[in-house]
């Protein structure tokens, strides 16, 4: 496991554009143009590449680099390159004894299939819940919104980092944030900001300053305000601004709001669709987004509750287009 963590740590240090675009294109070129001596050799190239692209498809932060819709292009190219590769090896034997040096590559391919297969299985496992979810109204209007984190973080931190994040564990937030969502706004190219992943100011992000509406009927249990927005790449210095809404025995939390924008106060009764405030960049955050989670017992350290938006499961990299 330590080897996998080491390899994963090395991979995530690579620039996002290289991870999401350059590496997949190189693998697709390998599939299409490399001369495979057997059908098995072809399979041990195609299958790991497909599993790797599947993992990127469902878990990569496309809106930060490459654009959300690039994942569809890569999926299409994978189908084409795989078909081309299998066409080329149609007359080759299924297995042809390789040189001893090639056995290492066979072993590497099998290892990649196992590791990537397990990671993919965990991604899909993280999208089903045994717990009873709370059904909410989507908290935004007028735009295309992307679920940046969504799913059971106790199963896969690739779909939802909150539960396994060391900082959240240290602060004892992680249990409450087991099913948390981070939501951003994207444009027609699939980017969350105006500079294709190289945003310099808060205003470069489409979601900054956008209205947030109550996702439920309930009572405002707590309000925190007065903290300034953190600039891009700035140091986190506070817990940020947000509200907690009590719905029966469940707390619904909306966080990272803009200083002075919250229009409700503790004890107010709100209806789904009532204005709450606007998106800022306050608290433990690197870029503007809405953090939302539901929890029982305590909204900071209680037990997380799954969320559905009007019956729809907010899995990572799913879109909500609202008017």
177/319 Cα distance (integer angstroms): 21
Predicted confidence at residue 5, as pLDDT, reads 62
pLDDT tens for residues 43-99? 999 999 999 999 999 999 999 999 999 999 999 999 999 999 999 999 989 887 777
Predicted confidence at residue 2, as pLDDT, reads 58
- In 3D space, the residue among 271, 291, 272, 293 whose CA is nearest the CA of residue 281 turns out to be 291
pLDDT tens for residues 241-273? 999 999 999 999 999 999 999 999 999 999 999
Question: Is 301 strand, coil or helix?
Answer: coil
pLDDT tens for residues 164-193? 999 999 999 999 999 999 999 999 999 999
pLDDT tens for residues 276-288? 999 999 999 999 9
279 burial (CB, 10 Å; 0-12 / 13-18 / 19+) is buried
Q: Which fold has domain 134-322?
A: Glucose Permease (Domain IIA) (2.70.70)
322/7 Cα distance (integer angstroms): 39
Predicted confidence at residue 7, as pLDDT, reads 63
* Mean predicted confidence (pLDDT) in 147-158: 96
Q: Percentage of the chain surpassing pLDDT 90? A: 84
Q: Domain spans of the chain?
A: 2-125, 134-322
Q: How confident is the model at residue 6 (pLDDT cuts 50, 70, 90)?
A: low
Token pair for residue 203? Answer: 């205003």
Asked whether 163 and 174 are in contact (CB, 8 A), the reply is yes
* Mean predicted confidence (pLDDT) in 111-129: 95
Question: Is 144 strand, coil or helix?
Answer: strand
Predicted confidence at residue 234, as pLDDT, reads 84
61/122 Cα distance (integer angstroms): 18
* Mean predicted confidence (pLDDT) in 106-113: 90
Instruction: Map tokens 């990671």 to a residue.
Output: 119
């Amino acid at each position: 496991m330590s080897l996998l963590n080491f390899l994963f740590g090395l991979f995530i240090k690579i620039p996002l554009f290289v991870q999401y675009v350059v590496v997949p294109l190189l693998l697709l070129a390998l599939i299409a143009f490399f001369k495979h001596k057997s059908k098995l050799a072809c399979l041990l190239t195609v299958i790991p590449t497909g599993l790797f692209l599947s993992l990127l498809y469902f878990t990569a932060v496309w809106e930060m680099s490459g654009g959300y819709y690039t994942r569809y292009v890569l999926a299409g190219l994978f189908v084409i390159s795989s078909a081309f590769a299998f066409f080329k090896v149609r007359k080759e034997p299924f297995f042809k004894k390789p040189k001893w040096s090639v056995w290492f590559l066979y072993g590497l391919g099998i290892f990649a299939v196992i590791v990537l297969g397990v990671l993919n299985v965990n991604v899909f496992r993280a999208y089903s819940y045994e717990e009873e979810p709370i059904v909410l109204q989507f908290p935004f209007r007028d735009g295309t919104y992307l679920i940046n984190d969504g799913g059971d973080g106790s199963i896969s931190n690739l779909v939802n980092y909150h539960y396994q994040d060391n900082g959240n564990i240290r602060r004892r937030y992680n249990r409450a944030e087991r099913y948390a969502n981070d939501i951003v706004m994207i444009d027609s190219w699939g980017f969350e900001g105006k500079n294709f992943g190289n945003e310099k100011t808060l205003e470069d992000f489409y979601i900054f300053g956008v209205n947030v509406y109550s996702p439920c009927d309930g009572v405002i249990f707590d309000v925190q305000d007065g903290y300034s927005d953190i600039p891009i790449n700035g140091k986190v210095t506070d817990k940020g601004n947000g509200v907690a809404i009590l719905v029966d025995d469940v707390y619904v939390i909306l966080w990272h709001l803009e200083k002075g924008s919250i229009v409700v106060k503790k004890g107010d009764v709100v209806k789904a669709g009532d204005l709450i405030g606007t998106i800022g960049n306050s608290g433990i955050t690197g870029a503007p987004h809405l953090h939302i989670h539901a929890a029982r017992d305590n909204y900071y350290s209680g037990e997380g509750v799954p969320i559905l938006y009007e019956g729809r499961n907010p899995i990572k990299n799913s879109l909500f287009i609202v008017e």
